[in-house]
Structure formats: C-alpha cells, structure tokens
C-alpha cells in the first residue's frame, strides 16, 4: 500500500509505492543549464586568432569560492592541429587581451569571477600538468566535451596551447560555476 511522506515545514507531500520507490514526475536537465537558469553562472568565451605556428592562446584562473567547470569546447582551423591543455602553468600571462566571458543567462548581469586572457600574442606562461590533448582536422569543426568535468577550484589556473602552423583558428568554450542548492 502506498504511503505519503510530508515535509513538516512546507506541507509538501511525496508518495512512496508498495515497492519502496518514490513516485515523481521529474524534469532533468544538464547541470550547466540548471545553474544557468537558477543562478546565472554559466558563461561562454569565443574568439578568432591567427597564432604563431605554436602558441598559448587562452588562460583562465578561477577566483570564485565555487568550483569552475569546463563543459565543452569547439575549435575550427584552416589546418590540421592539436590543442594541449595544461593545469597550473608557471608564470603570469603577458600580452593577449583580458576578456570577459559572456553570461549565457541574458537576464543576469553577473560576471565570471576570475581572470581570463586570450590572444595570439599570449606569453609569460610555461609548463604545467598536461590535462588533455585534443586533435582537430582542417576545415572541420571539432566539438570536445569535458565529460569527466574538468574542475578548477579557487586559485587554480589552466592554459590552452595550439599547434596549427599559424593558420586562422576559432575557439569557443562553455564554463559554469558549480552552485548546487539542494
């Protein structure tokens, strides 16, 4: 026989069936979409550069108490190439341009708490722990999902390095700040 569970503070009820399973009608969505809808903390970064044949082109540092999560990225280049992603590189970014990630929630005026640099003349960084190598083909958009959730805790930084022979290169990245309010 089903039973009802009542939350004493709200009076809301849920049913439990005779096999002990919760009966619900649920909506599921990716965590990035939920964070975007409820907190306005999902962002995108996009740009086009013509780098040196091999160069750092993107750097970010999380300055939030909330973890920063890399969701997915897309690349396009006129030539074959690869991207190397390094965690905690040495040095301080020089050159390039400081950029402001675009908030995916157009109703939110929140800014991404962190430092973000992009550009074909980005320098001052070296080393770091290699996290990913992503290969791409000339003229073919390459979508890469960080299915394992690459997470940057507070004061963790990451750099992206491209090898493509100095051809035009387009870059798009989606990030969000993990804010779970259960």
pLDDT of residue 2: 66
The answer to whether the beta carbons of residues 55 and 120 sit under 8 Å apart is yes
pLDDT of residue 182: 46
What's the Cα-to-Cα distance from 96 to each of 84, 139, 182, rounded to whole Å? 18, 25, 40
pLDDT of residue 84: 94
CA of residue 159 relative to chain centroid, distance: 13
Q: Per residue in 90-123, pLDDT tens?
A: 999 998 899 999 999 998 999 999 999 998 888 9
The residue ranges of the chain whose pLDDT is under 50 are 182
**pLDDT above 70 as % of the chain:** 97
pLDDT of residue 13: 85
The answer to whether the beta carbons of residues 54 and 161 sit under 8 Å apart is yes
Spatial CB neighbours of 64, under 8 Å, sequence gap ≥ 6: 113, 114, 154, 177
Give dist(CA 43, CA 110) in Å, integer: 10
Give dist(CA 72, CA 101) in Å, integer: 14
Tokens of 55: 């160069």
Topology classification of domain 29-177? Jelly Rolls (2.60.120)
pLDDT of residue 181: 59
Residue 163 host element (H or E): strand 157-163
Spatial CB neighbours of 47, under 8 Å, sequence gap ≥ 6: 99, 118, 119, 170, 171
In the chain, the N- to C-terminal Cα span, in Å, equals: 29
Rounded to 5°, angle at Cα 35 from 31 and 38? 135
Cα Rg of the chain (Å, integer): 21
The answer to whether the beta carbons of residues 134 and 75 sit under 8 Å apart is yes
């Amino acid at each position: 026989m089903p039973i009802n569970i009542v939350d004493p503070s709200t009076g809301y009820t849920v049913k439990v069936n005779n096999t002990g399973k919760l009966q619900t009608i649920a909506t599921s969505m990716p965590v990035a979409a939920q964070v975007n809808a409820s907190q306005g903390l999902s962002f995108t970064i996009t740009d086009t550069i013509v780098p040196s044949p091999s160069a750092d082109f993107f750097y970010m540092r999380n300055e939030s108490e909330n973890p920063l999560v890399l969701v997915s990225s897309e690349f396009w280049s006129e030539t074959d190439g690869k991207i190397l992603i390094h965690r905690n590189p040495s040095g301080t970014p020089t050159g390039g341009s400081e950029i402001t990630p675009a908030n995916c929630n157009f109703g939110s005026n929140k800014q991404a708490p962190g430092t973000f640099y992009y550009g074909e003349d980005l320098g001052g960084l070296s080393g770091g722990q290699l996290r990913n190598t992503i290969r791409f083909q000339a003229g073919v958009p390459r979508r890469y999902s960080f299915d394992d959730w690459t997470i940057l805790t507070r004061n963790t930084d990451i750099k992206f390095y491209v090898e493509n022979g100095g051809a035009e290169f387009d870059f798009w990245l989606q990030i969000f700040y993990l804010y779970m309010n259960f």
